[in-house]
Amino acid sequence: MKNMKHLAVIFIVVLLLAMMSGCLENGETGSSDSTITHSVGTGSNDFWTVYPAQHPKSGQSVSHPPWVKNKLKDGPLIILAHSTNCQPCIVQQADLEAVLPGYQNQIEYVDILTDGSDDRAWDVYNMYYPQGGQWYIPLTVVISQASVQGETEVIWHSRVSTTGKAWLRTYIENAIAYYEG
C-alpha cells in the first residue's frame, strides 16, 4: 500500500511537471526532420552520456548492457519497462503504440515486463533509472548515439511514469536526428 501511495505521488508530480513544461499531448504529428530541441548534457531535459545531475552517481559513466549496444548498431531505440496491471503503465504503452507507427523503421521499440520474466528489466533499471534509489514503473528510456566532442557516444534520456505523446514524439525525433547526425 505504501508503494502505491509513492507511485501516486510521483505520478502527480510528473504530470504537473509535464503540464508546466508543455510536454503533454497537443495534437502535433511526428517528423524526423525536426530541429534538435534536447541538448546533450546533464540537465533534467537533456540527453545524457553519463548519469544525470539528479542521480546519486551524477557525472559517472554508464555501463550500457551488451544487448543495448548491439541493438544500437541498427538505430536508436525506445524501451518501455512496465507491468500489465498498473494504470500509468497502460497509458504509457497505449501512447507509445499510438506514436510509434509514425516512425516505422527509424526507431526500435523494446517492450520489457517488470514481472521477473525478462532479465533485461534489471539492466534497464540499474543503468537508466534517472534518479537512482527506489524504482517505480513505467520507465521509458530513449537511447541513441551522437557525436560529442568529435567522438561517437551513446546518449540516453529516461522518464518515470507517463509522458504524453508530445514528449514521446520530441525525444524520438531528437534520437533519430542525433543518430542520423
Residue-wise pLDDT tens digits, 134-169:
889 999 999 999 999 999 999 999 999 999 999 999
* % of the chain beyond a pLDDT of 90: 75
Statement: the pTM of the whole predicted model exceeds 0.85: no
pLDDT band for position 80 (cuts 50, 70, 90): very high
Residue 72 pLDDT > 60:
yes
**Which pLDDT does position 121 carry in this prediction?**
95
**Which pLDDT does position 119 carry in this prediction?**
93
Domains and CATH numbers, the chain: 2-180 (3.40.30.10)
Tell me the mean pLDDT in the region 56-70.
96
In angstroms, what CA-CA distances link 2 with 9, 132, 151?
11, 19, 45
**Which pLDDT does position 153 carry in this prediction?**
96
Q: Is 172 in contact with 107 (CB distance < 8 Å)?
A: yes
Residue-wise pLDDT tens digits, 106-131:
999 999 999 999 999 999 999 999 99
**Which pLDDT does position 163 carry in this prediction?**
97
**Which pLDDT does position 31 carry in this prediction?**
39
